[in-house]
A and B are shown apart, each in its own frame.
Chain A
Amino acid sequence: MMSSGSGISLDPWFDNYADRAAGLSASEVRALFAVASRPEVVSLAGGMPFVAALPFDKVRSSVDSVLASQGPTALQYGSGQGLPSLREKIRTIMAEEGIRAGVDDIVVTTGSQQGLDLVAKLFVNPGDAILAESPSYVGAMGVFRSYQARVEHIEMDEHGMIPAALTQRIEELRAAQVPIKFLYLIPNFQNPAGVTLSASRRVEILDIAKDNGILIVEDNPYGLLWFDSPPPQALRSVDDAGVIYLGSFSKTFAPGLRVGWVVAPHGIREKLVLASEAAILSPSSFAQMVLAEYFESHDWKGQIDTFRGVYRERRDAMSDALATYLPDIAHTNPAGGFYLWLTLPEGLDSKEMLPRAITELVAYTPGTAFFANGEGQRHLRLAFCYPEPDFITEGIRRLARVITEERELVETFGPATSEVPLAANLESPPPEVT
């Protein structure tokens, strides 16, 4: 606390923050998510993987084995690029999606979120454009904002980003002499929309990027979590010179270990390692060793099959409940992953509606969280990954009641659009919200 003629400020350094910290403030919307952790609330807000489906006896044996055989090394600093034995496993995992990479092509990170941060740090100057889907991952929006990027959302439909819209936006930005640093894509079971980029559009988008000299950042945490059939080939499997690939153990194993990876062309990779060392010295040796041991000794493919079954059942529960309780509401039909994107009737605002939803003991993430420009009011993201199917059904039943009430309110007063937030990621739940 500092007292002066200008009064008492509870943060005497308030005027010293960097421009990139603008918008990092308390948020009325974010505070509401605190209620979502209560058992009475059906939270369809957070994207927490259902880690209870893991074989904990096997996880424990991997932890024990690491501590027994390599304890001092596991608790020591490690390589900035990551443990070679884990990178070997990562190579095997990526081969499942058609990606060929050498062990030295891989940089292990503290979750793929750190990979995203490092990529943005390497490439983005304030005011540079990043092209992204419309909507896009809230965590990426937060990273891009912190580097003061100008995020340009490119229209998408049920087949993913629309190539013609991409071309048009590139031309507009080029005409305005705005540097475009990369195209950020989540091609499989996209967060938040749940749609998958079609095979033909992958080819088109790769061509557009190549023709325009634009790097692609392919973020693929959900690719192995398909329900009926695998998604089309990874972009990186087609182009290893123009695509940076982000992978993660958070969805196929557990987010608590915080391990992800980046595969990048040689020149970029060298800089990524140096940037990562500057940021964190090295990723957790212990977490990497546990993962390497687990993936060496246990049936990880079988475990991913188990996850697919769990999430398929929950997706079905959500789809069925939406058909029953909200039959006239449009939504996407994800073929994998964690999320479904819902479009509200005209005039409704998902952010404005959230307090009513919390009162009715159901939580979701407002669509505004997934746009850098404050759009998305008519949309909301529903996560089906964590609650049991019966809970999901009950949650949708409650949501239907909320929407009915809100419709009546809008009929009385007309539409009310919420204000554009400075930092959209403050309108999403914190990572620990179920």
Chain B
Amino acid sequence: MPNFNIDADPKHTYDAIVIGSGISGGWAAKELCEKGLKTLVLERGPVVEHPKDYTTANLDPWDMELRGGLTPEQQKKHYKGIRSGFIGQDTEHFYANDEENPYTEVKPFLWIRGHQMGGRSLLWGKQTYRWSEMDFEANAKDGHGVDWPIRYKDLEPWYTYVEKFAGISGEALGLPQLPDSHFLPPMELNCVEKHIKERIERDFPGRHMIIGRVAHLTQPLNGRGQCQYRNRCSRGCPYGAYFSSNAVTLPAANATGNLTFRPYSIVQSIMYDEGTGKASGVRIIDAETNEDIEFKAKIVFCNASTLSTTQILLNSTSNRFPDGMGNDSGELGHNLMDHTYRVGALGKVDGYDDKYYSGRRPNGIYIPRYWNIDEKSKTDKFLRGFGYQGGGYRMGNSEAANRKEFGGDYKDSIMKPGPWEFFITGFAECLPYHDNKVYLNKEVTDKWGQPTLSIDCEYKENELAQNKQIQEDAVEMLEKAGVNDVLGFDNEHEPGYGVHEMGTARMGRDPKTSVLNGTNQVHAVKNVFVTDGACMTSNSCVNPSLTYMALTARAADHAVKELKKMNL
């Protein structure tokens, strides 16, 4: 891949500025550049060039100092993020520094951030699902939040468009609650998963267990290699086999010659021109020199990630917008949502001790939502629903350490794989609540003296009722499927653990109750677009990234058409 042009010129006015280079920012950059716009992408952190900057991608445990363990200094640097359980020596450089970038948990909330080119597109779980018609209708039907200004049919062609380029593997099922994507061949279930799938689908009509739909190539696509089943994705994939901005969208944007990528650029605010009623550009702080610099553009795409985008908008004050850009409704910062996390069941599976697998599959199983999808599946215990992720595997070191044995025979026995274990863990939809919110905290500033966010968010009755059902159903399904020693769990993780934070600058039909219109434009500042998770009006129960991609491509298409009509 050619080097990126990182020489941004403040004297030059760009056609477009994209704030952030993660999943949605990468798509904005690609679409705008391919449509001929000179586009400046502002990234808070360093360049991570595919594949040369994946410095840990090929390290085996014994190649790493301390076999991958985090030192006390590294633990301190990630003193919040570390509780996710995801951060190791091999990936810690892709997780934001919590000490330099503090946030305040008014109520417990875990905010996982990736401050580098590609953002969290390097770190995401790659589970990739379309939202359904029932997701877009949900608010209107039960009256929570405001109505989405779009429906499934508005997004359907854009889903197909982004899927063809991103590469999504999976199996088509024709389920109304989980529309099929344009699929590459699915990955394979293992023996235990196949067994449990058969039992669940036999004993629980209407429930399905499928291989996860994932943004991994199962065959080559556009010069990218297919998955090699190393399961070292979060270090960056040298084959470009999973979807990341670094391997997929940013190289495409760069190939047009229209991209300027500026690293170490912390967007402080979006500038508002009182005369034109439009945004004129953005003001940044150079993270390395602390210099304040302004860049001008005709349109601005906000893709800094859900809460960072809202933080920038809240910090973009003017005479016209004293409470943050586009905040006429007072909804900016409100209606924060995340999926509930870590409620489910697990247990051991007998009868397959002579079976094993080869390859490390970066994927598991998925059980699509089955409550409240039709008249028959309606419950009065809660609104909306949940899905499960999970999988089967043979257990490793902690099971071996738990055996009450030691010595030669013990050592020889743990050279063999441990017993089979199978788990499922639920992801429930969170309703949009006005009082789940973020706001600027001027008392706590970051390394660059900027105000930070206070996060005040909690799960309420409807989410807790779903968690109860998630655990009950999980235990019941596993027991009926013949799993032994079934342990149901509800670890009551606070929001943020799902890393599916959504809302705080929602789309809507009415400027009085929403921040963005049906094409992701700030109602009162039409040349500012928000197409990351901040725009979400509801939460669904499925993973959101594919929907951000589709919304971004759709909004970029609209933006360029409007620019051509001189409407922006």
The answer to whether A and B assemble together is: no
Residues of A within 8 A of B (CB): none
Q: Which residues of B contact A (CB under 8 A)?
A: none
